[in-house]
Amino acid sequence: MTIVDTKMKHGDASDGLLGGRLARIDGPVKITGAADYAMEHFPEGMVYAVVIDSTIASGRVVAIDTGSAEAYPGVLLVLTPDNALPIKSATDWTGAPPAEAPFEPLAREVTFAGQHIAAVIAETFEQATAAAALVKVTYDETAPISSFDDPRSGEGFPIDMMTKEWGDAEAALAIAPVRIEQEYRTPREYNVPIEPHGLIARWEGDMLTLWEPSQWIDGMSRTYAEWFGIPFEKVRLLSPYIGGGFGSKAFPARYGAVAAIAAKMLDRPVKLAITRPQTFTAFGGRPATRQTIALGATREGKLLSIVHRSANETSMDDVAVEPLGSVTSIMYAVPNFSSRQNIVPVNTVKPGALRAPGENPSAFGIECAIDELAYEVGIDPLDIRLLNYAEEDPHARKPWSTRRLREAYAAGAEAFGWAKRSPSVRSMREGKQLIGYGVAAGTYPVRRTPGEAMVRILSNGTIEVASSGIDMGQGTYTILAQTAAEAIGVPVETVVVKLGDSSLPRAPVAGGSQLANLMTGAVHVAALAARDELIGLAINDQNSPFRDLQANTLTIEGGQMSSPRDAGSSVAIAEVMRRTGRDRIEALRNTLPENLRNKDDHFRNFTTISTMLSPTEGDYSMHSWCVHFVEVRVDVDFGTVRVSRMVSALDSGRLYNPKLAESQWKGGIIMGIGQALLEEGLVDQRNGHVMNNNLGDYLVPTNADIPDLEVISVGIPDTNASILGGKAVGELAIVGVAPAIANAVYHATGIRVRDLPITLEKLI
C-alpha cells in the first residue's frame, strides 16, 4: 500500500483548500524515484513471460513447433492455445453477460497482425526472449483487409444507437439556399503513454495479486475474478502510480490473462512486459474515421440542416464505436438534423479509447465544416458560431446546466486578438511565412457514476482518505487531500491519501473525465460525516475538553476545534481524540442514488459502466465547453506548419485545483497539436502491419513543437453537474484543437486539409 504524504512545502495555506493551486502532492515521490510503479516489483521466485505475436493479419495458426524453445536453458513453459489452463469469459465493461464459451487469450484464428498466439515463460527475461525466437509458427494465410479504404471492406454495418435525427434533414438540405458538403478523415491514432503496459501476476492459493497499471481498479479486478471463477475479494490489484494511460489502461488485455494463467500453471509470480512496438497491437487506439458533413444554410449563414454520415474502423470480430455524431448533434442550433454511423470491420486489433473518444474526431468534422460555411457565406468564423449558438441542447431538448461558451468565445477572442485577423485567405504574411488565424470549439460531457470513499480521523490528528480511484497524472491525490482538508477544517499537510488498491473502497473508472467530480463528491460526503462524528464526540463524551465548557456548537479550523462561545479556547483534534480515548473515527460513504444506497452489494462487487448516468439524464444537459484560437505560420517554400500562438478559453465549471486543471487542459491541447500535425498510424496495406510502431516513427509533439499556451477558465460552479460544482476537465481541451489548426492553415494558405494529420506534402 502506498501512502502519499502531504508534508511538503507549498504556497500559502489557502492553496491547500479546494480551489487552491496546491502543487501535486505525489510530485516529490515521483521525481525522487520513490513511487513504486507496477513493473518495479520483484516478488520472490518471479519468472518472465514473453508473448509471441502473429506475423500475419488474417488466417489461422496451423501448427506451433515449441520443441527448440522448450529445450532452451531456463525455459519453464511454452504456452499455446492447446496447453493453456482454460478460463471463463467475463462480463464486458457495459455489464453485458459473459459468453458461455471459455476465453482463449491466445488465438488460433488470426484477425490482425500482432495478435498474441503463444508465450514463453523462463527464469530470466533474456532466456524467454531468446527462446521465443525459436518458436516456429506455421500459418494458413488469407489476404487481409487493412483499412476501410479497401473496396472489399464495403460500407460496414450501421450502429442504430448512434442515429440521431430531428426535422427532415434531407428535404431541408435540398432546398437550402447555401449547401456545402465535404468528407473529413482522421487516421488510426495510438495511445503512447510514457509507461508501456504489462503486469506481474502472483497466486497464493486461490488469491491472485496483480501489479498492473490501471485506470479502473474495480473493473479490472472483476474481470480477473470472473476469468478465474474466484470472488472479487480474492483479487488484489495494485496500481498506486501510473505513467499515463489516456484510455488504454481501463480494461485488462489478453496478455494480462496470459500472465495470470502462466503464474497459476507454474505456481510462480510472472512478469509480462509489453514492448513499445507491442503497444500498437496489444490493445486499441483510436480507429480511423471518416465523416461526410452536408450543411444547408441561409445566405446569411444561419444553419437550416445538417446531414452527417460517418464510419469508423472496427476489428473483424468485435464492435468498436467511436461516436462521431457526439459534437455534431449538440454544438449548433439547427432545425433539421440527421446523423448516422457505420462501423467497418478490418484486420486490426479492436480499437479502444483514446482521449475524448468520439468528441475528438466528431469536432474535427463539424468545426471544419462550419468554418467552410463561414467562408462560403462571407462572414467571420467566430460570428457564424455566435449566429448559430445553441441556447439549449438541440438534441435532448433540455436546458444546459451551464454553458459558458459565449463567455469563452469573448474571453478567448479578446486575449488572442482575434479582431486583428484580416478576413481573406493568404492575406497575412511575414517574410516567407504565411500567417493564419483559426478558431474551433469543443465540448465533453459530464458523466456520473457512483463512487465510495473512506475518511478516517486518526488519534494523532492525521486525516486518511482511501479509495480505489487512481491517479495517472491528473491530480487525484491532490484534489482529494484538498477536499478532505476543506470539509474537516484541517491543514492539507495533515491529510494522507491512499489510492490505487482494490482492497480500498470502490471507485468508478478514471475514464470519461468523471473521476474528479465523483470522488471529490464521495470524499466530501465522507469527510463531513467523520467531522460530524468528531464534533458529536467532543460535545458528548465525558472526557471531552468541551464537555466542561458545555458547548453545543463547535467549529474546526486549521486542525483546531473551538467553541464560538469561548473564543479563547481551542483544542487540537489529536487532543480531543486523546482525551476521549478514541483511536480513530471512520466514515465510509458512497454517492449511490437513494434507492440503491442500502443494497449496494451489486454495485460494490460488480462495477460496470451500467451505473453511469447519461449527461442528459435529469432536467439538464450537462457538458464542459471550450474554444481554441490558433495562429499558425506556414513556410511558403516547404509547407511546414508551426503553431505559433494559441489561446483557449474553457468552461469546466468550478475548478478544484486551477493549477492542475490548467495543466490537464494544456496536456490535452498538446495532444491536439500532435493529432493535427504529426500523429498517424501507418498500416501496410499489403500485410496489415503497423509500420510506425515505435516512438521514432509514430510522431508525438516535443517541447519545440509547442508554443506558449494560454488557458482561461470561464466556468462557474455547476451543482447540477456534480456535488461540488465541477465539470469534466481531463479530455475537454483536446477537443477542437485539430480543427482550429486546420482552419488556421486554410486561412494562411487557402488550402483546406480535410484529412489529418496536416503534413507538408498536403500543402505544397
- Residues with a known catalytic role: 731
Closest approach, Cβ 356 to ligand MOS, in A, equals 7
- How crowded is the C-beta side of 692, counted as CA atoms within 13 Å? 16
When asked if residue 412 is in the footprint of ligand MCN (CB under 6 A), the reply is no
Binding ligand MCN (rule: CB under 6 A), the pick from 20, 193, 325, 674 is 193
The SS3 of residue 567 is strand
Element (H, E) at 624: strand 623-635
Residue numbers 547-586 binding ligand MCN by CB under 6 A: none
- How crowded is the C-beta side of 216, counted as CA atoms within 13 Å? 26
Omega cis (within 30) before 757: yes
Out of ligand MOS, ligand MCN, none, what residue 517 binds, judged by CB under 5 to 8 A for its kind, is ligand MCN
- φ and ψ of 634, to 5 deg: -115, 125
Closest approach, Cβ 661 to ligand MCN, in A, equals 4
Amino acid (1-letter code) at residue 738: A
Closest approach, Cβ 733 to ligand MCN, in A, equals 10
Helices (H), 175-325: 217-228, 254-266
Distance CA 663, CA 709 (A): 10
Distance CA 233, CA 237 (A): 10
Out of ligand MOS, ligand MCN, none, what residue 357 binds, judged by CB under 5 to 8 A for its kind, is ligand MOS
- Record the cell numbers describing residue 738, joined without a space: 485539430
Closest approach, Cβ 404 to ligand MOS, in A, equals 23
Strand pairing category for 463-466 and 495-498: parallel
Residue numbers 692-731 binding ligand MCN by CB under 6 A: 726-731
Closest approach, Cβ 518 to ligand MCN, in A, equals 8
- A 10 A CB-CB count for 417 gives 13
- φ and ψ of 270, to 5 deg: -120, 130
CB nearer to ligand MCN: give 48 or 241. 241
CB nearer to ligand MCN: give 247 or 559. 247
When asked if residue 477 is in the footprint of ligand MCN (CB under 6 A), the reply is no
Strand pairing category for 336-345 and 303-314: parallel
Under 8 Å CB-to-CB from 27, ≥6 apart: which residues?
A: none
Residue numbers 498-527 binding ligand MCN by CB under 6 A: 510-517
The interface region with ligand MCN, picked from 127-135, 181-189, 253-261, 471-479 by CB under 6 A, is 471-479
**Burial of 379 from C-beta contacts in 10 A (0-12 / 13-18 / 19+):** middle
When asked if residue 657 is in the footprint of ligand MCN (CB under 6 A), the reply is yes
Distance CA 216, CA 248 (A): 11
CB nearer to ligand MCN: give 221 or 517. 517
Closest approach, Cβ 671 to ligand MOS, in A, equals 11
Distance CA 659, CA 524 (A): 20
Out of ligand MCN, ligand MOS, none, what residue 35 binds, judged by CB under 5 to 8 A for its kind, is none
When asked if residue 442 is in the footprint of ligand MCN (CB under 6 A), the reply is no
CB 743 within 8 A of CB 758: no
β-sheet bridge partners, residue 77 = 121
- Report which residue's Cβ sits closest to ligand MOS: 247
Binding mask 337-356 for ligand MCN (x = CB under 6 A): ------------------x-
Out of ligand MCN, ligand MOS, none, what residue 284 binds, judged by CB under 5 to 8 A for its kind, is none
CB nearer to ligand MCN: give 631 or 731. 731
Out of ligand MCN, ligand MOS, none, what residue 87 binds, judged by CB under 5 to 8 A for its kind, is none
Q: DSSP for 105-146?
A: SS-SEE-STT-EEEEEEESSHHHHHHHHTT-EEEEEE-----
Binding ligand MCN (rule: CB under 6 A), the pick from 472, 646, 676, 712 is 472
Out of ligand MOS, ligand MCN, none, what residue 260 binds, judged by CB under 5 to 8 A for its kind, is none
Residue numbers 596-655 binding ligand MCN by CB under 6 A: 652-655
β-sheet bridge partners, residue 141 = 59
Q: Which residue has the cell 473564543?
A: 567
Helices (H), 541-617: 545-549, 573-580, 594-597, 601-605
Binding ligand MCN (rule: CB under 6 A), the pick from 199, 499, 527, 661 is 661
When asked if residue 322 is in the footprint of ligand MCN (CB under 6 A), the reply is no
Q: Which residues of this chain interact with ligand MOS, rule CB under 6 A?
A: 215, 246-247, 250, 353-355, 357, 511-512, 731
CB nearer to ligand MOS: give 380 or 471. 471
Out of ligand MCN, ligand MOS, none, what residue 516 binds, judged by CB under 5 to 8 A for its kind, is ligand MCN
Closest approach, Cβ 41 to ligand MCN, in A, equals 21
β-sheet bridge partners, residue 50 = 120
Q: Measure Cα distances from 485 to 6, 17, 530, 559, 727 in Å.
A: 11, 6, 12, 9, 21
The residues that touch ligand MCN, with contacts defined as CB under 6 A, are 193, 244-247, 355, 472-476, 479, 510-517, 652-657, 660-661, 664, 667, 726-731
